[in-house]
């Protein structure tokens, strides 16, 4: 089973729209297609399926395979616990992250958001995390670099294996014990965040922050850095209003 790197995808069902997409490929072909729900705005100018009225494909698909139930999200998606929780709610046991996550937030000190987020998502969702990150340097984009640090984390947040940071190719291998994971999900009482989740306690999810379906307005399909800034400012005004309420 191979989780592809990301690609820019066009779909004739959505004229003028470009998605950031990854596919899970098995012996029988493509098992699912995941389109990035949370582009790294304002810089990324491809579309989120969230922003398209009438989009009826699963936003967070999970494939049931002989090696476990697999779900994937892309790079910045992982900064939204809700996205990964949705994969777990759909039964994902192995959470795959395909990423070009750069420093200063990447896999090196002093910030190392890469490791922090991957381990947190594993703990929160009682799932294995298999996270692949690009390792590259581009002199024309100082101080940014893509520090690699690909890793495998178990369902208790233990770091099972990690590539050394830096440019170039690395191979990371670790065992994934699905029987242990499934046993814990069935028998654990404490620290079972999936079972303890009080969904009704969070009314924020009954409202919206970032405007949905904006791609269906006349200005929508013309994605740009400037348009993303406008939408972010609109969301911030909505957030300020909720603080004042």
What are 130's strand-pairing partners? Answer: 96, 152
More confident call, 157 vs 109: 157
Nearest-angstrom CA–CA distance, 99 and 97: 6
* Residue 219 in this model has a pLDDT that exceeds 50: no
The domain made up of 2-244 has a fold known as Nitrilase/N-carbamoyl-D-aminoacid amidohydrolase (3.60.110)
The mean pLDDT of the chain is 92
Average pLDDT over residues 171-184: 98
Percent of the chain with pLDDT over 70: 93
Nearest-angstrom CA–CA distance, 174 and 159: 10
> pTM here?
0.93
* Residue 221 in this model has a pLDDT that exceeds 60: no
Nearest-angstrom CA–CA distance, 151 and 160: 8
pLDDT of residue 244: 55
* Residue 218 in this model has a pLDDT that exceeds 70: no
Nearest-angstrom CA–CA distance, 245 and 172: 49
* Residue 48 in this model has a pLDDT that exceeds 50: yes
pLDDT of residue 106: 85
Mark 93-121 as b/e (b = at least 16 C-beta within 10 Å): bbbbbbbbbbbebbbbeeebebbebbbbb
pLDDT of residue 243: 59
The conformational region for residue 217 under phi > 0 = left, psi -120 to 50 = alpha, else beta, is beta
The distance of Cα 151 from the centroid of its chain, to the nearest Å, equals 15
Which of 178, 179, 184, 121 lies closest to 153 in space, CA to CA? 121
pLDDT of residue 238: 85
Supply φ then ψ for residue 212, to 5 degrees: -80, 155
């Amino acid at each position: 089973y191979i989780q592809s790197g990301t690609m820019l995808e066009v779909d004739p069902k959505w004229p003028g729209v470009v998605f950031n997409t990854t596919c899970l490929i098995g012996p029988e072909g493509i098992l699912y297609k995941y389109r990035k729900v949370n582009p790294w705005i304002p810089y990324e100018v491809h579309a989120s399926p969230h922003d398209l009225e009438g989009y009826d494909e699963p936003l967070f698909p999970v494939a049931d395979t002989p090696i476990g139930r697999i779900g994937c999200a892309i790079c910045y998606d992982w900064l939204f616990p809700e996205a990964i929780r949705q994969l777990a709610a759909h039964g994902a046991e192995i959470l795959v992250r395909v990423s070009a996550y750069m420093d200063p937030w990447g896999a090196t000190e002093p910030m190392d958001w890469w490791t922090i987020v991957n381990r947190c998502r594993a703990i929160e969702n009682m799932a294995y995390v298999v996270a692949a990150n690009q390792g590259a340097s581009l002199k024309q984009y100082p101080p940014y670099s893509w520090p690699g640090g690909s890793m495998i984390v178990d369902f208790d947040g233990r770091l099972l294996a990690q590539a050394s940071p830096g440019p170039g190719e690395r191979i990371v291998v670790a065992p994934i014990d699905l029987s242990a994971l499934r046993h814990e999900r069935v028998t654990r009482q404490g620290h079972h965040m999936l079972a303890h989740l009080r969904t009704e306690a969070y009314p924020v999810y009954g409202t919206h922050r970032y405007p949905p379906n904006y791609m269906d307005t006349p200005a929508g399909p013309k994605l740009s850095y400037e348009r993303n800034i406008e939408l972010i400012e609109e969301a911030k005004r909505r957030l300020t209003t909720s603080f004042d309420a």
